[in-house]
Amino acid sequence: MFSLISRPMEGPTRTMRIIALALSLACFLCAFASSALAQGFSTDARMIAMGGSDQSSDSTSLSDVTKKYSSFGLPLGLIQIYRHRDAFNPKDKVNFNPLLAIEDLSNPMHITFGRQSETQGELIVRDLVNGNLNRDLSAYKGFVPKSPMAMSGTFTPDYGKTIRLLKVGKLYQGIFVGAGPYLTASTYLDIDPSLLSNWSGSSLGIPANASLHFDNLTQSQAALSITGGYRGRYAAPKALRSENGGDNDGVFVSVNYHYIHGFHYDSDISNARFDTDTAGLIALSIPAQPPVVVDRTWSNSGKGRAVDFGTSVVTGPWDFHVTANGVGNQIVWDNPTHQQYTLSFLLDGLSSGMDFVKTSLPVTASTITVKLPVQYAGGAEYNAKKWTGRGQLARGVNGREYHFGGEYHFGPLDLRGGGRVVHQVFNPMGGAGLNLTKHFGVDAAVFTTISNAQQDRRASVAISLRVQ
């Protein structure tokens, strides 16, 4: 073992290290958490089991415009967060674990299995926090995140009510009033190929006399969206009507305008460099340039806007839908603050004077404007007497996504299955529903998630109550 530590870190020294490393390495896990935002916060187990949807907004997702039930998710994941509460406590030297904490927060509504054992990613963070980094970086073999990698996620649900003002039979015009959180996260990760080659087992050793990098850019926003919108149901054109003129036939239109009040913006550029000696170990000499630099810019005040459009055409058993969410979106953040954390030496135990130094830096502009790609989606659903099938193609912050699934009614049971493809990775899903009465049922779904530093597939369970 080449672990070097000669004194315990207490008080301000350890606190500063925790803050800087939490910014630098814990935000790295946002690469995985951001892609799980919509699925991890979704509470409709029926939709999750049938492949989920890229639309996290209940008021503008086209399949939800004509959905005949309301879903209430059971937040079982909060039990897991409570059990892991010590992972959030920086004063707990044994259990503090920022990677586990962010894994829990990336999927807070559902139980996820396999989070008890310590991974190599969590080990390297723990060693850095405690000043116990192993000079032999191959000791962290098995920590193999994807690199380079760019990922984004949004969670923008609206909770509110449609007030129908003009009604003629089943046709109506109305307004929607609601509100909800507006959360976004994006990240770009780049790790030196030589490190990944060793950690994956492709090479036997760490290169000698090398400078190995570990870089990450993460940006996140937290805000409140206050929404006003239009809802309308029109008679379907004659060419689109079903032969029997079904009760559900029609053209459904929805428009939302979001006023966004921003509470927090954070942009973190983290650069870590490992300089090795002739034996491939972290060099004992103090490097000329700081091996760890965290460049942080943040703001606690912002205002913005976004517009959503949706149209659904229902004819007989078919429901065709298209959406455009986040048209013209932007948040302008005021009075940003810019700070930099630098660490002059990785092996803390060799020098009592070497620890993170915080420096306040001037900002280049009085405001920061953040814009996200518009999210487009289109798909169809077919509802037969005994079964339902659905599919959706979406394009947005994570490029192309595919969602598909089906449901079969078997007496009081509904059997479901599906999947989604994001970043060319297939994630299977499945579940069942139990109809206790004509208007009430319980739904359960099992799906896989890779929102962890190892990118291991882990099973999650979602449960919700259905009222119609």
User: Residue 37: pLDDT above 50?
Assistant: no
The answer as to whether 2 is a domain residue is: no
Domain that holds residue 300: 11-467
The answer as to whether 107 is a domain residue is: yes
User: Residue 298: pLDDT above 80?
Assistant: yes
pLDDT of residue 95: 67
pLDDT of residue 262: 96
User: Residue 25: pLDDT above 90?
Assistant: no
Q: ∠ CA(86), CA(1), CA(289), 5° rounding?
A: 80
Q: Which is more confident, 458 or 207?
A: 207
Listed ranges 71-80, 252-261, 342-351; the one with the highest mean pLDDT: 252-261
pLDDT of residue 442: 95
Question: pLDDT, tens digit, for every residue of 138-169?
Answer: 888 887 777 777 777 777 888 888 899 888 88
How far is Cα 171 from Cα 248, in angstroms, rounded to an integer? 10
What lies within 8 Å, CB to CB, of 265 at 6+ separation is: 219, 220, 221, 222, 298, 299, 300, 302, 331, 333, 336, 368, 370
pLDDT of residue 201: 83
Average pLDDT over residues 63-78: 72
Average pLDDT over residues 401-429: 89
The answer as to whether 194 is a domain residue is: yes
pLDDT of residue 244: 67
Confidence of residue 371 (pLDDT cuts 50, 70, 90): very high
The answer as to whether 1 is a domain residue is: no
How far is Cα 274 from Cα 81, in angstroms, rounded to an integer? 34
The answer as to whether 169 is a domain residue is: yes
How far is Cα 19 from Cα 340, in angstroms, rounded to an integer? 12
Q: Considering only 98-102, 182-186, 289-293, which range has the smallest mean pLDDT?
A: 98-102
Question: pLDDT, tens digit, for every residue of 211-229?
Answer: 988 888 888 899 999 999 9
Range list of β-strands (E), 192-301: 211-234, 250-275, 292-299
Q: Considering only 81-90, 376-385, 416-425, 437-446, which range has the smallest mean pLDDT?
A: 81-90
User: Residue 32: pLDDT above 70?
Assistant: no
pLDDT of residue 409: 93
pLDDT of residue 316: 86
Confidence of residue 6 (pLDDT cuts 50, 70, 90): very low
pLDDT of residue 299: 95
How far is Cα 61 from Cα 175, in angstroms, rounded to an integer? 16
User: Residue 17: pLDDT above 70?
Assistant: no
The answer as to whether 5 is a domain residue is: no
Residue linked to tokens 């078919």: 318
Question: pLDDT, tens digit, for every residue of 100-137?
Answer: 666 666 666 778 776 655 567 767 766 766 667 788 88
The answer as to whether 235 is a domain residue is: yes
Confidence of residue 99 (pLDDT cuts 50, 70, 90): low
How far is Cα 296 from Cα 306, in angstroms, rounded to an integer? 26
The answer as to whether 289 is a domain residue is: yes
User: Residue 203: pLDDT above 70?
Assistant: yes
Q: Which is more confident, 10 or 209?
A: 209
pLDDT of residue 51: 87
User: Residue 38: pLDDT above 70?
Assistant: no
Q: Which is more confident, 46 or 25?
A: 46
Tally the domains of the chain: 1
Per cent of the chain over pLDDT 90 is 30
Evaluate whether 399 touches 377 at the Cβ level (below 8 Å): no
